[in-house]
Chain A
Amino acid sequence: MDAFTTHTGTAAPLRRTNVDTDQIIPAEYLKRITRTGFEDGLFVAWRTNEPDFVLNRPEYANASILVAGPDFGTGSSREHANWALLDGGFRVVISPRFADIFRNNSTKAGLLTVVLPEADVEALWAAIEADPALPVTVDLQAEQVTYGDVTVPFQIDPYTRWRLLEGLDDVGLTERHLDDIQAFENARPAWKPKALPAV
């Protein structure tokens, strides 16, 4: 995973609530067995059917920060949604509320999710609608979002922040505790079910 420290780019206003992962990438685009190349499915229904959909507008075509309404990433656990956003050029999603699995997947994939109160999201929407070229900086080190002369702090749990800043792989971290895992396994009751052999 790539480390995330700070990112500056332009931001696209996605004025929708409950953006589920089926909208971020529909099921028919999940058949690929690689980890990249999902940009063709990103918001494909809205991009195809709605000519004035925000990401169809040239002024937002190169945005790398997505600013969405509450309950972003609900629904299916598909990490393809996070990959599609990354493949589509996004490094950060800002929303007042994220679905848990989406948020968790983001921390593994290197996509930063930033929770801001609805009023701050409204203000940011207004600013980037007034000036689509406005640079927005998301600083994970300082835990703040900055644009124009506005600075908004955000919170993230310290452990996740550390992992993102360092770009650390969870499996590697867990492997430091194999002895604990072994000890736990040794104490498990023998009657706990096993899938093998097939009965």
Chain B
Amino acid sequence: MLKNKLLKIILILIGVGVLTAIGIGFYMFNMPHRDVQATSSDYKLSAEAIVTEYLNNPTVANDKYLDAEGESKILEITGQITSITTDFNNQKVVLLKGENAEAGVICTFTEKTNASVNKLKEGQNISVKGVIRSGASYDEDLEMYENVILEKCSLINKNQ
């Protein structure tokens, strides 16, 4: 009698364990992407500052900003708008770059944040939040500077 009861408890425990494992597996598999806008910024700096950091020492900068699983640092970048374009995914792309700077920070907005770019103009100073994908560098094969890439961007309202 006591043996049966014990067996029952063990079976229930195993059952719960298996269900939990399946649940965790399912959750992991379908886990949503990190919400960049809802996550707090890791660093706040100017477009010039991060470009300089990368041009001076790309290895140190990569180590500081890039994540091994692609969930790299979330940055808040302030700078002057040099150009506004649209990419093949209909996302707005804003380049923040100093007038005499070698490279800038190129920010790609999202379906949700695209509209906020409409009111922006070249020459304006803005702050943008997004996730860094790669740093600035001079590429001798391209014969040009590559910008710091920021994606999933949104406009930061400085008055808030």
A and B: interacting chains: no
Question: Interface of A with B (CB < 8 Å)?
Answer: none
